[in-house]
Amino acid sequence: MSFNFYKYQGAGNDFVMIDDRNQTFPVSEETIAKLCNRYFGIGGDGLILLQNDAESDFKMVYFNSDGRESTMCGNGGRCVVRFAHNLGLIQNETKFHAIDGIHEAIIEEDKIHLKMTDVLEVFANMDFVFLNTGSPHHVEFVKNVEKVDVQKIGARIRSGEPYFEEGTNVNFIEITGNNSLSIRTYERGVEGETLACGTGVTAAAIAAFETGKLHENEIQVKAVGGNLSVKFERTLAGHYENIWLTGSAEFVFKGEIYF
Ligand SMILES: N[C@H](CCC[C@H](N)C(=O)O)C(=O)O
């Protein structure tokens, strides 16, 4: 069996993309894990199926590189919008269906703006912030983000109390200015550091605002693989709405895979 695939990346978070509008892709944990494997397959932090959808322009189905279907992927969402645009399915605006609901997006030449789901609850204590931006995120503030042992500390937090098997993504952030921060992320389901994590970048910006470390509602975020920006509105009830994640999302190569 063979399938055409496309490789996309957003700020270095990379994805195997499949045009599955005919819904013939053989979904299995083993197959997807192999396709995402950087030695035995194509390589990627995740795999995304673009499928037809009755209520929107298309549907995005996201799998982590461990082969298991996951929650929302912000960089993957921006990449699937670029993919749909390159396939000629959409013009410069779109609404598509993902696991956490309908997302709007705006396509520009060099960047994609993706509207993220509302955040209705932000838990914060002295040590960390926890919130769900379409995927669960544990956020810690550090002095020097380059020096953090993301693999070791991230893995421990990801599986430790209170997250356990279901787990969480783990973000380490350093405030770098009045409206800027740097981030490194340990991603659940990749089980390692990725060069960027879109829902993590979104969580970091909101966590910095919620804890009073930043006071602007448009924040520049420097991830290892590239720069992203997040803007949002905080309501009087403490909800975060009208959240937009912006950054590049690029086609890298296409091919045919036999398996
Ligand atoms: N690994 C994440 C999903 C992908 C998140 C990340 N790639 C993003 O851009 O949001 C999880 O299992 O919660």
Domains, in order of start, for the chain: 2-110+249-258 (3.10.310.10), 122-247 (3.10.310.10)
The atom number, within ligand 1, closest to the CA of 46 reads 7
The alpha carbon of 46 and the centre of ligand 1 are apart by a number of angstroms equal to 8
Pocket test for ligand 1, best of 197, 202, 228 (most atoms within 8 A of CB): 197
| Per-residue pLDDT at 59 | 98
The alpha carbon of 10 and the centre of ligand 1 are apart by a number of angstroms equal to 12
The atom number, within ligand 1, closest to the CA of 200 reads 10
Tokens 């045009």 identify what position? 19
The alpha carbon of 71 and the centre of ligand 1 are apart by a number of angstroms equal to 7
Average pLDDT over residues 227-233: 98
Q: Does residue 169 contact residue 200 with C-beta atoms inside 8 Å?
A: yes
Residue 199, marked binder: yes
* pLDDT more than 70, % of the chain: 100
| Per-residue pLDDT at 204 | 98
Q: Does position 88 have pLDDT exceeding 90, yes or no?
A: yes
Q: Does position 87 have pLDDT exceeding 90, yes or no?
A: yes
Average pLDDT over residues 104-112: 98
Per annotation, catalytic residue among 145, 197, 221, 230: 197
Residue 101, marked binder: no
Q: With cut-offs at 50, 70 and 90, classify the pLDDT of residue 259.
A: confident
Segment holding 28, helix H or strand E: none
Helices (H) and strands (E) in the chain, counts: 4, 17
Amino acid letter for position 56: S
Q: Does position 165 have pLDDT exceeding 90, yes or no?
A: no
| Per-residue pLDDT at 240 | 98
Average pLDDT over residues 179-194: 98
| Per-residue pLDDT at 92 | 98
Average pLDDT over residues 54-60: 97
Q: With cut-offs at 50, 70 and 90, classify the pLDDT of residue 12.
A: very high
| Per-residue pLDDT at 163 | 92
CA distances from 255 to 37, 51, 139 (A): 15, 19, 37
What DSSP line would sit under 184-253, residue for residue?
EEEETTTTEEES--HHHHHHHHHHHHHTTS---SEEEEEETTEEEEEEEEE-TTS-EEEEEEEE--EEEE
Ligand 1 contact via 9 beta carbon (within 6 Å): no
Q: Does position 1 have pLDDT exceeding 90, yes or no?
A: no
For residues 221 and 53, give the distance between their C-alpha atoms in angstroms, rounded to a whole number. 32
Q: Does residue 207 contact residue 129 with C-beta atoms inside 8 Å?
A: yes
The alpha carbon of 143 and the centre of ligand 1 are apart by a number of angstroms equal to 24
For residues 151 and 207, give the distance between their C-alpha atoms in angstroms, rounded to a whole number. 22
Average pLDDT over residues 75-80: 98
Q: How confident is the prediction for the chain on average, in pLDDT?
A: 97
For residues 73 and 39, give the distance between their C-alpha atoms in angstroms, rounded to a whole number. 23
Q: With cut-offs at 50, 70 and 90, classify the pLDDT of residue 144.
A: very high
Q: Does residue 7 contact residue 258 with C-beta atoms inside 8 Å?
A: no
The atom number, within ligand 1, closest to the CA of 199 reads 10
79 is catalytic: no
The alpha carbon of 197 and the centre of ligand 1 are apart by a number of angstroms equal to 6
Residue 151: phi and psi, rounded to 5, are: -60, -50
Average pLDDT over residues 107-132: 97
197 is catalytic: yes
For residues 252 and 116, give the distance between their C-alpha atoms in angstroms, rounded to a whole number. 24
Average pLDDT over residues 122-128: 96
Q: Does position 120 have pLDDT exceeding 90, yes or no?
A: yes
Average pLDDT over residues 44-59: 98
The ipTM assigned to this model is: 0.93
| Per-residue pLDDT at 194 | 98
| Separation of CA 203 from chain center | 10
Ligand 1 contact via 70 beta carbon (within 6 Å): yes
Q: Does position 175 have pLDDT exceeding 90, yes or no?
A: yes
For residues 9 and 70, give the distance between their C-alpha atoms in angstroms, rounded to a whole number. 18
Ligand 1 contact via 137 beta carbon (within 6 Å): no
Q: Does position 39 have pLDDT exceeding 90, yes or no?
A: yes
Q: Does position 234 have pLDDT exceeding 90, yes or no?
A: yes
Average pLDDT over residues 128-141: 98
